[in-house]
Each structure stands twice: as C-alpha cells, then as structure tokens.
Chains A and B, each alone.
Chain A
Amino acid sequence: MGLLSVLTEVAIFIVSACLVASIAFIGPARLLELRSEAIPRLLDSKRLIAVLLVVLVTNGLIRDATQNLSWVFGWNVTPLIRQIEGGVVIYIQSFATPLLTAYFSYIYVFGYAFLLIFPFLAYLSLSDQTHFRSLVLAYTLNYGLGLLCYLLFIAYGPRNSFGPGLVESLLFDTYPQFQFLTRSVNVPTNVFPSLHTSLSATVALLAFHTRREYPIWLWVSTVLAVSVFISTMYLGIHWLLDVLAGLVLAVVSVEGARRYVKTGSFIGRSSTDSDESAEVRS
C-alpha cells in the first residue's frame, strides 16, 4: 500500500521531531507538569476541540459534494489569477536545483505536518491555556473559511494551468509517493487560498504572541513557515495570490481566535490592551 507506507513515514517523523522539539523548547519542568495536567487541560477546551474535529470531519465527508457544488456555482478564477500575477511561479522555478527540490518537497510534506502538530504540545504545556484555545480556534477558522473559499472559487494551481515546459509538477514528479497522501486530503481545484500557507502562518503568528514562553520556537516556526510559503510556489502547486490570500486568512483567523478566546466575541473590543497585560501576567 503506497499510502500506508507514506503515512507511516510521516508519522514516525512527526513523533520523533515532536520528541526532540519538546525537550528543546518546552523543557523538562513543563513536560513533567503536563503528565498530570494534560487531561484536565484538554477537558477545559473540550468544546473548542470538538468544534475543530467536527469541521475537520465534515471537511473530509463533504469534500466531494462541495467539489461538485463548486463546479456548478463556483467562479473559475484560474484565468484571472494568472492574468494578474503572470509568470511569478515560472520565475521561482527557474532557480530549481535537485537539492532545493528535495528541501522544499520535504518541507511541504514533513516540515508542514510537524509545524502544525507541535504547537498542540507546546501550548498544552503552558499553564495559561488561552494560547492553546487560540490555536484550536484559529485552526478551525482556517479550515472553515478556507472551505468556504473553495466552494466559491475554483482555481487550478500553476502546474495545472501552465503545465509541462513552463511550470513543472516538481513534488509529484520527483516524489510520486507523496501524491497518495496529498490526493487523499485535497483536490486539485482547491488552491485559493493556500491552506498550507495560512496554517503555517497561523503557527508563526501564534509563536510571535508566545515569544516570551518559547523564544526559539518563534524563529524555528518562522523559518519553517516561510519555507512552506515558498515551497507551495516552488513546487508549482500554488500561485503567489494563493499564498497572499493564505496570509490574510491566517491574520484573520489568529486575530479572530484571540479575540474570541479573550472576550467571547469575534468582533469585540480590540484586544491589544488586554493582550499586553495577559502576556505580562503569564
């Protein structure tokens, strides 16, 4: 089974990477505390976690249906995106070397998976659970709003618009086995916005807000996130506009989530003041 072996590889990598990162970033003291605190803390956020799970499961279940709906009602923006940004991705791919392709392919699959999963551990280990809740809610918003965009917009990525000779499908031509994985979680017309970008940016933004707790993680996550942004374009999967839209989606999701967690409302008073004080307190 092609899919199974890829999944196993990714799983092994994530477990080991999280292990190393936990020791390096979270530290033994917090980890020891987490042993007893993990369950109560998870239970504290059970509603938010349940919502995220519901969104994820629904996303999986209705992906085919939304895809069909999208072809009936959606707006095919591929030509428009291409008209606006032209050959940005062709330019980016002109720097391609086998080494870069390997780096970005592994970033796109393994780096991204680690980037998304580790924050759960990191923020669950903090005594102040607002960051954990913000994380869960921000992911939910990313997926929810992203799904809505996929319903409204049909867009093929550069590799499917320019094609061979102009934009190569670097990831799948070099590592066809990764296709088993991405195919089972995505469809080729769902590129606007880039969820790879928005979720990675979400992690980096939250890392900025928790820079006092995890100063090095801010740098690690930023480097990883920027690598993910570039990889989506380098591999011919996303347009520059998808990435920019992904960044906007990340900012909206993170800000929305942080406000909601602090004030109980998405459009409540700006959270800048309480933000500062919260960080000072913790």
Chain B
Amino acid sequence: MPSVLSSTPTRRSLLAAGGAFGALASAGCVRQARNIAGRDRPEQLSLDVKTIPGDADPFGLATANRLVEALKSVGVAAQLTPLEPEEFYRQVLINHNFDIYVGQFPEQFEFDPDALYPLLHSKFDTEPGWQNPFGFTNLECNDLLESQRTQTGGRRRETVRDLQAHVARTGPFVPIALIDQLTAVRTDRFDGWDPVWPTAPLGLLGLERVADTADTLRLSSTDQRITVNRNPIAAEFRRHGAIIGLLYDPLTRRDGDELIPWLAESVDWERSDDGVEAIVRVRPDLSWHDGTAITAEDIAFTYRFLTDTSLGNAEDPIPTPKFRGRSSLVSEVVVESDSTATISFEDVSREIAPIALTVPLLPEHIWTEKTGPATIAGIEVNSETTEAVVWNNPEPVGSGPLQFESATDGERAAFELFEDYFLVDGRDTEIPEPYASGPAFDRLEIQLAGTDSSTIEIVSIGDADATLSTLGPGVIERINDESALNLITSQSHAFYHLGFNTRRAPLGNPHFRRTVAQLIDKDALVEDVTDGFGEPIASPLAGTEWLAPSLEWDGRDPTVPFFDDGSGELNVTMAREQFTEHGFQYNDEDELVVRNR
C-alpha cells in the first residue's frame, strides 16, 4: 500500500529535520514537529475475505468475489483468500483469524431458532466452533436469546421475531441466500430416495434395494474430510453430519417436525421447579460397535463431556466445538438405574428442551481416554485443547446402524452394517416405516472426486448411486441430459452468509457492517450464479415458519437494501457517502482510510 510506504519516510524526514534544526530552533518549533510526526497517518483499510475454493463451494466463491470487487470500488483494499474446507473452518471457527468470511451455516436440515443461541450469545465469544465466531457482544441480543429459551408458543414466536429484527439491524453477519442442495441419484440399484433429504441420515435409512445384487450403497463426494477424520465433535471436519449421523445414534432423531425416540425407548417429560426434566429410558440390550453395553451412564457422560472435554481436569472447561447450543440447554443428568437417567433443564421451556436429546450419544469408555491435553509427539502444545477435540477418531465406536470398515486418506471411506443394531436384530420397535427394518444396504462406500462435475460423472458411469457433496448449478444441464440420472433438489437451511470478525476494527462498528452489507446485490447474485435454485434472504430463519414477516424478501432487502444505481450496478457514490456519513474518511486517492488498525 502506497500510504504505508510514504508515511515512514515522511515521519523520518521530519524527525531528521527536527534533529538538525534542534540546536538552532526554538523549543516551540520542535514541539510542533513532534506533534506532527507523532500522529499516526491514516492508512487505507485492507480487508481479507476468506472462503472455500470453487471446486468445493461455487456459490460461496462467487459471493466472495462480488464482495471483494465491491469493496475495492468503494476504496477498500480487499483481497480474497481461498482455503480448503478444513483450513477455512480452522482459521475462522477455531482461531478466529479472519476479517470477513463467506460460508454456510452447518445446519442443513430445518433447525430450531435456538440454534442462534450459540451463534450469537456473547458468552461463547472465546469458544471455538460455531459458537459466536463473530465475537459479537450485545446485551439486548443476549436477553432475547435467553428469553426465547424460557418461553413457549406465541410469546416465544414474538421474541424470535424481535431477535431476527435485532440481528438484521446490528448485522454481526449478513444472511445472503438459501441455495437448494442438489443431489444426482440413480435408481437402478436403490430407490425410494427421499424427495426432501436424500442424503440425510434418515433419507439413507429409508432407501429400498431394487437390484438384488446391490449390497453396497456408493456415494461420490468432493469433500475428503470424512476420509481423514471421523470425530463427531470436530467442527472443522464436519459438514452436515450425514455419515456421522449413521455412525452415532442420538437418543431421539428428528424427522420433519417429529422427534422419534431412537436409542431412547421412552422419554417422559415432567415440570420441575425452574424448568423441565426428561426421564429417559434407553432400549434394553443395546451395545456400542465394540460390544460394550450402552447404559444410562453414557447419557450422563455425553452431556458432561460436551460441556467439558477435560472432565474437570483443565483449569477452565473445554467444551466441544460442536453441539454447544444443545449441550448448554442441559443443566444436570442424574443416573437413576442402568437404563434410566433424568435430564434436567434450567430456565428452558418444554418446547425447546427436546432438541437437546438429538446430540449423538458418545461412549464413555472411549472418550474418557481422550480428556488429557492435546500433544504433538508427546509434547503438550496447547493447554486449552484436549485430545478429544483434535483426535482424528480413525475407527469410530458409535452405536449407529453403520460401523467403520476402512478408509484411505483423500480417496475413499467404507462403512458396514452393524450386525447387532436394534433395527436388524429382529426385535420389535415402535420406529416408523420406512426406517423400521434398518438400512437396505450392507455397506456404504464414499468415493472422492475433485470437482462437482466429476462426482456426477462417477454416478453417471454407474460407479456410484448418488452424489453426497454440494453440486454447483453448472451441472444441472448435465444431470438432465443423462437419462440414468435423476436430480433431487432440496431446500437447504444452511444459509450462506458473510461473517464479520467484530473483534477487529472497524468491523466492530455496526454502521460499517451494514454499509458493507448494502454493497451486495443478493438478488442478482442468486439469479446469476444459481440458475434459480436459490433465493436471497434477509434473515437466518428464512425458509422456516419462524421467519419474521418484516424480514420477508420482496425484491430487495428490507433492512440493508443494495445501493442500486438504477441499472442494477453498484452506486459507488452513494456507498461512499454513507461511509463518510458514518464517520469514515477518504484520502486524496479515494481510498477509505483508518487509523490504528
């Protein structure tokens, strides 16, 4: 940046002048020289935009590119840094090392508004994972998040509306769009693909076998993370959790609006003094993949472990980077017997509490071994991290219908049917069809490819039955052209958004963030890049029944409308004026300048 380079010699020459004339000049003159030289010159604001490269996320990259170009045109030195998914999430979610990121919310399936609790509550500021990566601190927001937990029905709805309006106004992140999840499937071996969620855990469990010879369900993916890491609590390695959801069963599974008791045989709810209690009875004779019996102790352990992976050994609790919102609902778990546990919820309403039971159950005997500090070659490097959080979990021991078989880093991963699974061992359950008879396949294999078009090629030549990872809109034509391929579009709830690191000036300034939000033409972006398979949004709850009516999209963003010059292009003058209005300055070269960055 030219201003940086020029500022140093200027200051130096001034000081030199001050020194040379010091002997002759009056004290007043020197004082003035010091006054001038001692002031920091403002420098052009530079911002780095992080995102996942186009092979893995075409829409995110397109969004980031438009943002960078818009920022440049309003005088910000913006640059784009593509990072592979694992690295992206590590830098953004774990290290909080970013200015702005473009990413997707991890909950692909319809989520409860309480998912915003860990995302925005200031108490999660320092925690790694999808816990307030923005470093957002706002008392009003905290109040709204806490109230909605205790409320039910219409009052909660009201609070959630206020919360959305508040988030839209203060803008720690900018919701951009909901992009349909596209899946290419073929139906000659397996059919009954869920029209809504073909590759969700329940979608895969509901498949039926068409060809008698088909024993392996084969999926193609661009996302290599499941081949290197199968740790359910590692936020940077998990996407939407489809495979992990088949390896690790929860107590209850969410199926649309319903919660199906899964590992739990029954859940009875009771009112308590300051909240509610769930009396959970696990199904009899359940075992982990290694044969150890599943007991109520594992329930108690799971919630204790999710809130502190060091189990009290570290100075401060080290919570898991995932499932944090749900684990923070639970206040206590009491083991009543081998099969029964009472889970207590403080200041949480009966309406929200059940979602806490959808976390994966973790085996105590495996994870208690992993509570020590993380080490590299035996040397402790970071006392704020436990082994559990960074463990690759190469051979996961879960309780789900699939167990780990084998994997090759970056190439493939295979899972096989767990023979002792309660849906396949012949017992009667109340689990509804089409899940009641367990998976229709004996193995599940994931095959890696480099780009979305090659994942489709793998399905098209008959080497896989469906695609698992994100497909860009560029491949739709190809899917429609191939008669063997069917396209399933699902409305994803994993909203795309810009995240601001509010810890870094001037991103802590809501006016700045709002003005940046107005640089993006969400409508044009969605139309140009997604071919109609998406919609621009103004609230993270768009696409759910919780959306605040005031934040419905009606051709433009109701809170932060695009600076339109009338022809669909960015009105640069208007944008610059708004920056100036909010106290930002431009130098002679039309660069937006800041001090003390």
Residues of A within 8 A of B (CB): 1-2, 64, 71, 76, 78-79, 82-83, 156, 159-166, 168-169, 172-173, 176-177, 179-180, 182-183, 188-189
Contact = CB atoms under 8 A, between A and B. Distances in A.
Contact of B62 (A1, A156, A163, A183): A163
A183 B87 contact: no
A71 B451 contact: no
10 contacts: A2-B457, A79-B80, A156-B53, A159-B55, A160-B53, A161-B80, A162-B54, A162-B65, A168-B474, A179-B453
Interface string B459-481: 00101000000001111000000
Contacts of A1: 463
B82 A78 contact: yes
Given A64-B410, A71-B84, A162-B65, A173 B453 contact: yes
Contacts of A188: 53, 55, 84, 450
Given A159-B54, A183-B450, 5 more contacts: A2-B463, A161-B53, A161-B61, A161-B82, A173-B453
B457 A79 contact: no
B66 to A, nearest CB: 9
Contact of A165 (B409, B457, B529): B529
B456 interface: yes
Contacts of B80: 78-79, 82, 161
A82 B410 contact: no
* Interface band, chain B: 20 to 34
A79 B81 contact: yes
A1 B82 CA distance: 31
A188 B84 CA distance: 9
B454 A176 contact: yes
Given A76-B83, A78-B81, A82-B80, A169 B54 contact: yes
Given A160-B61, A162-B65, A163-B54, A172 B451 contact: yes
B58 interface: yes
Complex A-B, nearest 7 residue pairs according to Cβ-Cβ distance, in ascending order:
A163-B61, A160-B53, A163-B54, A179-B454, A176-B457, A79-B79, A183-B450
B212 interface: no
B456 to A, nearest CB: 7
A166 B65 contact: yes
A182 B451 CA distance: 11
Given A78-B82, A177-B457, A179-B449, A71 B409 contact: no
Contacts of B53: 156, 160-161, 163, 188
A164 B55 contact: no
Contacts of A164: 54, 58, 61-62, 472-474, 529
A91 to B, nearest CB: 16
Interface string B568-583: 0000000000000000
A189 B84 contact: yes
Nearest to A188: B55
B305 to A, nearest CB: 28
Given A164-B472, A179-B449, A169 B528 contact: no
A163 B58 contact: yes
B48 interface: yes
Given A2-B463, A165-B528, A169-B55, A160 B82 contact: yes
A166 B525 CA distance: 13
A168 B475 CA distance: 12
A30 B581 CA distance: 80
B453 A156 contact: no
A156 B55 CA distance: 10
A180 B62 CA distance: 25
Contacts of A180: 449, 454, 457
Central interface residue in B48, B80, B473, B475, by most chain A CB within 10 Å: B80
Interface in B13-59: 48, 53-55, 58
Interface in B379-417: 409-410
B54 A160 contact: yes
B454 A172 contact: yes
Nearest to A236: B54
Central interface residue in A71, A76, A162, A165, by most chain B CB within 10 Å: A165
A132 to B, nearest CB: 35
A67 to B, nearest CB: 9
A172 B450 contact: yes
A176 B463 contact: no
B291 to A, nearest CB: 33
Contacts of B202: none
Given A164-B529, A165-B529, A177 B79 contact: no
A64 B409 CA distance: 8
Contact of A182 (B450, B461, B528): B450
A82 B54 contact: no
Interface string B429-460: 00000000000000000001111011011100
Nearest to A186: B450
Contacts of A78: 80-82
Contacts of A71: 84, 87
Contacts of B458: 2
A214 B227 CA distance: 49
Central interface residue in B82, B448, B461, B463, by most chain A CB within 10 Å: B82
Contacts of A177: 454, 457
A129 B276 CA distance: 85
A180 B411 CA distance: 11
Interface in B94-139: none
